[in-house]
């Protein structure tokens, strides 16, 4: 057995679902309007095209080694550094010049005025006017790493209304970046090769001079037949040669340290950060500080996209960047000083070793072998200089071969192509959001409207609040009843109404009835006419008197002229029998209102009461069609003439207070208020209306068979009744 809480939740859910179903056309209308608005706005928005190129950037090695094993781990700082370089002025200024973007961006954003390179760079890398900016960004160029752990970089270019230009900008950035990297690498190699050639020429002259010195000593000392390659057994000579070899190594080391110091010193300070990595500058403090500098730059870029230039957080982030950059510059200057000190240390060691070598040579000259020792020393020096020359020559050759080898710069994995469709606005996304927002808005409005609706929601509610029984439920869309439709479901609700009316009232005393409603347009006149037709077709003699002298309707249902009628009888201009006319329904007569627009008064009501006294003898049932109850005095006078009044209430048309006020007015004047009729109830109505609709549908099978037998006559009657209903 379900708990009370579960029952309440189920009832609440079913209530909301029924409310949404009843307001489905309102929801669909709001969704349609939202969708149409989204389509129009999307169509009117500026069309932005996006072209993307994907490149693979490998970390450069300090020097090319043809036979060494390649490969290095992923460096996130290097990738972030390349992203910053791709959007730097060094690259984008070349793109602006190559594609003439000063004029093209001026046509796009500045009404045809040519921009300066700085303005064009601002549009590309910094900020586009908000009214024309691409989605989710304020710049035309976006560069990002595709995913962490890879060296793939995605370059996207956004342009307003020009897909060809978007592809051209993206491809130009990739090409110019590749050329810039190649130029940077070749410039360093070219400088190194030129310096090495100069040193080789100097060493060649040294070798030539030393060879001349050897020959001069040979002539001076009259030495002949000496093998320059013989081994020297003297231990002092071996020591001397060992010191000379050490001196050569120190010279080479000093030259290398000097070259490294001078090259680093020649690099501009703003370009030194690119050297801080695990291979060139291995200082851990510098690497950690560079990582903090890049992270702070990323944080500043995010804040700059969200905050203004004078925001405290943005200022604090800018000061942090300046502080870290100052620390980096100080460390790099210290690194330069350490290179200088290293060179000076090597130079001092070389000079000291050279001094010791000179002392040893002086000592050996004074020895017993003083005659041969100068010659041997000169020959040994020649050999050392030749070895240095050959080493430098091989090194130069290797560098030249490495220089001719293909440079590993970047690899363009996918060229940017001109997009066929615009990337923004996104039609699919906008339509999806429009449907979603329209549905939410439509459902919300439907629920609010339903919750604000103060009309009666069901039979049980209206019976409980009014204290009146529901005599009948008239579905929406029923036509006028005639002889051909008497046995169909069209007439079934009125037969139910007739039966219930006879049960709640004494037929012998309730021979004059009036159907009244709180306001106009509730279908009271049509309900009265169909009820009278059903009674007439059941064998009773029925008369309809149209007492609504202001807005008569019954003559239209009967397809008769409005006069002569009741007004003529009350004025004494015509006899009652002459004014009553038969209708197309057997047993049903009609007394129209007559051609007048005046209201009923008490004198006219007295005359009508006298006429009704005579008509009771001739008719089984007399119906009076009266004006609405609220706002007019006629209905109250008519309610006092009849035996029974039936209140007609249209489904969910008027608020509860209006219905209760109408009931109170009728109770004041009427002899008997038998009950009420719920009119124009839709088949989809919720609550206990469904029971009536299900019972009425029981007869539909018979209706279809009857319609097949006599389609022409029934169709004609239905068309005529539909015409009358539409006019009403």
261's tokens: 């110091």
Choice between 81 and 191, residue whose per-residue pLDDT is larger: 81
What is the sign, positive or negative, of the torsion defined by CA atoms of 590, 601, 549, 529?
negative
Residue-level pLDDT at 700: 47
Paired with 582 in beta bridges are 589
Residue 718 has pLDDT above 50, yes or no: no
Q: Are residues 213 and 95 in the same domain?
A: yes
Q: What is the mean pLDDT of the chain?
A: 78
The answer to whether the beta carbons of residues 558 and 596 sit under 8 Å apart is no
388's tokens: 């240095």
Residue-level pLDDT at 235: 57
- 546: in domain: yes
The answer to whether the beta carbons of residues 588 and 542 sit under 8 Å apart is yes
Q: Which of 424, 456, 491 is the last residue of a domain?
A: 424
Residue 530 has pLDDT above 80, yes or no: yes
Q: Are residues 310 and 240 in the same domain?
A: yes
Comparing 85-94, 259-268, 662-671, the range with the smallest average pLDDT is 259-268
- 459: in domain: no
Comparing 106-120, 251-265, 272-286, the range with the smallest average pLDDT is 272-286
Residue 219 has pLDDT above 90, yes or no: no
Q: How far is CA 478 from CA 199, 494, 558, 647, 714, in A?
A: 113, 10, 16, 19, 14
Q: Are residues 216 and 239 in the same domain?
A: no
* Residues contacting 365, CB < 8 A, separation 6+: 373, 374
What DSSP designation does 612 have? Answer: H
Residue 619 has pLDDT above 80, yes or no: yes
Residue 393: CA count within 13 A, CB half-sphere: 10
* Residues contacting 459, CB < 8 A, separation 6+: 470, 473, 678, 687, 688, 689
Q: Are residues 218 and 239 in the same domain?
A: no
Q: Are residues 160 and 303 in the same domain?
A: no
- Other C-beta atoms closer than 10 Å to the C-beta of 603 total 9
Residue-level pLDDT at 525: 92
- 623: in domain: yes
- pLDDT tens for each residue of 480-501: 888 888 888 888 999 999 999 8
Q: Are residues 489 and 583 in the same domain?
A: yes
Residue-level pLDDT at 532: 94
Residue 260 has pLDDT above 80, yes or no: no
Q: Are residues 358 and 255 in the same domain?
A: yes
The answer to whether the beta carbons of residues 545 and 605 sit under 8 Å apart is no
The answer to whether the beta carbons of residues 656 and 454 sit under 8 Å apart is yes
- 586: in domain: yes
Q: Which of 310-314, 502-506, 603-607, 643-647 has the highest mean pLDDT?
A: 643-647
Mean pLDDT in residue range 193-200:
84
Calculated CA dihedral for residues 574, 577, 578, 579, nearest 10 degrees:
80
Q: Which of 185-189, 351-355, 437-441 has the highest mean pLDDT?
A: 437-441
Residue 708 has pLDDT above 50, yes or no: no
Please, what is the angle between helix 4-22 and helix 24-44, to 10°? 60
Cβ-in-10-Å burial (0-12, 13-18, 19+) of 676 comes to buried
Domain count, the chain: 3
Q: Give me the domain span that covers residue 320.
A: 235-368
Residue 223 has pLDDT above 70, yes or no: no
- Band of residue 328 on the pLDDT scale cut at 50, 70, 90: confident
- Band of residue 538 on the pLDDT scale cut at 50, 70, 90: very high
Calculated CA dihedral for residues 9, 10, 12, 18, nearest 10 degrees:
160
Q: Are residues 217 and 316 in the same domain?
A: no
Choice between 539 and 137, residue whose per-residue pLDDT is larger: 539
Choice between 700 and 297, residue whose per-residue pLDDT is larger: 297
Q: Are residues 200 and 321 in the same domain?
A: no
Please give the share of the chain, as a percent, with pLDDT higher than 90.
16
Phi and psi dihedrals of 204, rounded to 5? Answer: -65, -40
- Band of residue 27 on the pLDDT scale cut at 50, 70, 90: very high
- 517: in domain: yes
- pLDDT tens for each residue of 623-632: 999 888 887 7
Residue-level pLDDT at 587: 92
**Size (the chain), residues:** 728
The answer to whether the beta carbons of residues 666 and 539 sit under 8 Å apart is no
- pLDDT tens for each residue of 38-90: 999 988 888 888 899 999 887 765 443 333 444 445 667 778 888 888 888 88
Mean pLDDT in residue range 599-607:
78
Residue 706 has pLDDT above 60, yes or no: no
Mean pLDDT in residue range 181-199:
79
For residue 574, what is the domain's CATH number? 3.40.50.300
- 35: in domain: no
Cα 684 from chain centroid (whole Å)? 37
- 161: in domain: yes
Residue-level pLDDT at 650: 87
Q: Are residues 493 and 553 in the same domain?
A: yes
Q: Are residues 195 and 300 in the same domain?
A: no
- Band of residue 35 on the pLDDT scale cut at 50, 70, 90: very high
Mean pLDDT in residue range 381-387:
87
* Residues contacting 98, CB < 8 A, separation 6+: 172, 176
- 33: in domain: no
For residue 211, what is the domain's CATH number? 3.30.1890
Choice between 460 and 48, residue whose per-residue pLDDT is larger: 48
Q: Are residues 364 and 411 in the same domain?
A: no
Residue-level pLDDT at 231: 42
Cβ-in-10-Å burial (0-12, 13-18, 19+) of 697 comes to middle
Mean pLDDT in residue range 640-653:
88
Cα separation, 55 vs 283, in Å, equals 30
């Amino acid at each position: 057995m379900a708990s009370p809480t579960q029952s309440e939740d189920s009832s609440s859910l079913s209530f909301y679902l029924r409310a949404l179903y009843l307001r489905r056309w309102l929801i669909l209308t709001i969704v349609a309007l939202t969708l149409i608005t989204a389509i129009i706005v999307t169509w009117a928005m500026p069309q932005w095209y996006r072209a993307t190129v994907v490149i693979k950037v490998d970390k450069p090695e300090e020097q090319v080694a043809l036979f060494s094993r390649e490969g290095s781990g992923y460096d996130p700082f290097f990738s972030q550094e390349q992203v910053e370089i791709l959007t730097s002025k060094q690259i984008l200024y070349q793109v602006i010049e190559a594609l003439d973007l000063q004029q093209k961006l001026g046509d796009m954003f500045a009404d045809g005025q040519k921009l300066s390179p700085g303005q064009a760079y601002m549009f590309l890398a910094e900020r586009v006017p908000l009214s024309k900016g691409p989605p989710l960004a304020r710049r035309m160029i976006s560069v990002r790493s595709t995913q962490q752990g890879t060296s793939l970089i995605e370059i996207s270019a956004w342009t307003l209304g020009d897909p060809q230009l978007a592809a051209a900008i993206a491809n130009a950035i990739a090409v110019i970046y590749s050329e810039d990297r190649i130029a940077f690498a070749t410039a360093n190699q070219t400088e190194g090769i030129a310096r090495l050639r100069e040193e080789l020429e100097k060493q060649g002259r040294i070798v030539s001079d030393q060879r001349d010195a050897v020959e001069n000593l040979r002539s001076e000392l009259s030495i002949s037949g000496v093998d320059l390659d013989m081994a020297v057994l003297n231990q002092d000579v071996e020591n001397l040669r060992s010191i000379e070899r050490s001196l050569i190594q120190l010279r080479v080391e000093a030259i290398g340290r000097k070259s490294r110091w001078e090259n680093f010193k020649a690099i501009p300070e703003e370009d030194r950060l690119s050297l801080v990595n695990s291979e060139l500058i291995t200082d851990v403090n510098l690497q950690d500080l560079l990582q903090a500098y890049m992270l702070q730059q990323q944080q500043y870029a995010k804040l700059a996209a969200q905050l203004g230039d004078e925001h405290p957080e943005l200022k604090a982030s800018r000061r942090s960047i300046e502080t870290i950059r100052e620390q980096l510059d100080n460390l790099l200057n210290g690194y330069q000083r350490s290179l200088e000190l290293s060179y000076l240390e090597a130079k001092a060691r070389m000079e000291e070793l050279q001094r010791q070598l000179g002392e040893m040579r002086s000592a050996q000259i004074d020895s017993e072998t003083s005659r041969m020792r100068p010659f041997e020393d000169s020959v040994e020096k020649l050999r050392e200089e030749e070895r240095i020359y050959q080493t430098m020559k091989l090194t130069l050759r290797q560098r030249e071969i490495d220089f001719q080898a293909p440079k590993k710069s970047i690899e363009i994995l996918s060229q940017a192509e001109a997009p066929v469709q615009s990337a923004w606005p996104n039609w699919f996304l906008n339509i999806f959001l429009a449907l979603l927002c329209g549905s939410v808005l439509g459902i919300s409005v439907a629920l609010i409207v339903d919750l604000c609706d103060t009309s009666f929601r069901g039979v049980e509610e209206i019976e409980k609040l009014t204290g009146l029984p529901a005599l009948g439920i008239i579905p929406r869309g029923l036509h006028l009843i005639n002889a051909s439709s008497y046995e169909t479901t069209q007439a079934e609700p009125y037969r139910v109404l007739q039966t219930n009316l006879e049960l709640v009232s004494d037929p012998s005393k309730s021979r004059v009835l009036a159907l009244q409603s709180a306001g106009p347009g509730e279908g009271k006149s049509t309900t009265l006419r169909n009820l009278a037709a059903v009674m007439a077709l059941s064998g009773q003699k029925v008369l309809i008197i149209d007492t609504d002298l202001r807005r008569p309707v019954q003559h239209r249902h009967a397809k008769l002229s409005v006069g002569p009628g009741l007004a003529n009888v009350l004025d004494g201009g015509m006899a009652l029998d002459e004014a009553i006319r038969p209708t197309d329904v057997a047993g049903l007569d009609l007394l129209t209102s007559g051609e007048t627009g005046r209201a009923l008064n008490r004198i006219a009501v007295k005359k009508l009461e006298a006429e009704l006294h005579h008509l009771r003898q001739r008719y089984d049932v007399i119906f009076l069609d009266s004006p609405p109850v609220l706002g007019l005095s006629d209905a109250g006078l008519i309610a006092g003439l009849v035996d029974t009044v039936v209140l007609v209430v249209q489904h969910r048309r008027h608020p509860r207070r209006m219905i209760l006020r109408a009931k109170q007015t009728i109770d004041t004047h009427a002899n008997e208020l038998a009950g009420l009729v719920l009119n124009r109830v839709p088949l989809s109505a919720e609550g206990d209306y469904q029971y009536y609709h299900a019972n009425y549908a029981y007869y539909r099978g018979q209706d279809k068979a009857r319609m097949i037998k006599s389609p022409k006559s029934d169709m004609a009657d239905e068309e005529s009744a539909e015409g009358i209903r539409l006019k009403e």
